[in-house]
A and B are shown apart, each in its own frame.
Chain A
Amino acid sequence: DAGITQSPRHKVTETGTPVTLRCHQTENHRYMYWYRQDPGHGLRLIHYSYGVKDTDKGEVSDGYSVSRSKTEDFLLTLESATSSQTSVYFCAIRAGRGDNEQFFGPGTRLTVL
């Protein structure tokens, strides 16, 4: 998993509660990403970061916020979770030759009741 850990790995929560997912990397990579994966939609980018405190939106960013106060941690927050945010969330980093390949973490399975 390219030195990427995600926590928690599983979470069940109720509609309207805040939820924070954590992505941690150990190799000082500049770019980090959050995706969600849903049946019939594949992987879709939520937000990404290109450095400490530098973040930008992806294609499905509504209802999500992110923060990156340290190089190694990228947090995804659902301010008020909804059932439509039930999904599997993956963190990714850029690495490899030329730093142009994305590698994914193990994922967090989130259920919003």
Chain B
Amino acid sequence: QKEVEQDPGPLSVPEGAIVSLNCTYSNSAFQYFMWYRQYSRKGPELLMYTYSSGNKEDGRFTAQVDKSSKYISLFIRDSQPSDSATYLCAMSVTNFGNEKLTFGTGTRLTIIP
């Protein structure tokens, strides 16, 4: 079993819809959680960075962490065609430089105009 599980999709939703992307994990020691957006043939771009449980909001994006369920989510409100990309979750135990990030495999999202 992988440490981080992420539904690969693809996920297609109409423009303006609320999108929910999710990851589950098995290592209860994870404390730092990230969401990256990756456009086709580009490098991953950091979207959200959270520590421990709770919600964090940045514009149309909300990251949610539920450590009791080992479950993290990224919500996108008022989705736009420019949100079409692959979304990767990542997590780590510490934020030290020698700490590796454990990534999900990514969910491919398409927003239909």
Residue numbers of A with Cβ under 8 A of B are 1, 4, 30-31, 39-45, 48, 50, 56, 58-59, 90, 94, 96, 98-107, 109
From B10-18, B40-48, B52-60, B76-84, the one touching the partner chain is: B40-48
Taking a contact as CB atoms under 8 Å apart, the answer to whether B100 and A59 are in contact is yes
Taking a contact as CB atoms under 8 Å apart, the answer to whether A43 and B44 are in contact is yes
Taking a contact as CB atoms under 8 Å apart, the answer to whether B46 and A103 are in contact is yes
Residue numbers of B with Cβ under 8 A of A are 4, 6, 32, 34, 36, 41-46, 49, 88, 90, 95, 97-98, 100-101, 103-106
Beyond A104-B43, A104-B44, A105-B43, whether A41 also contacts B97 by CB under 8 A is no
List, sorted by A's number, 18 A–B pairs whose CB atoms are closer than 8 Å. A1-B43, A4-B43, A41-B105, A42-B103, A45-B101, A50-B97, A90-B43, A96-B49, A100-B32, A101-B34, A101-B49, A102-B34, A102-B101, A103-B46, A104-B45, A106-B43, A107-B42, A109-B41
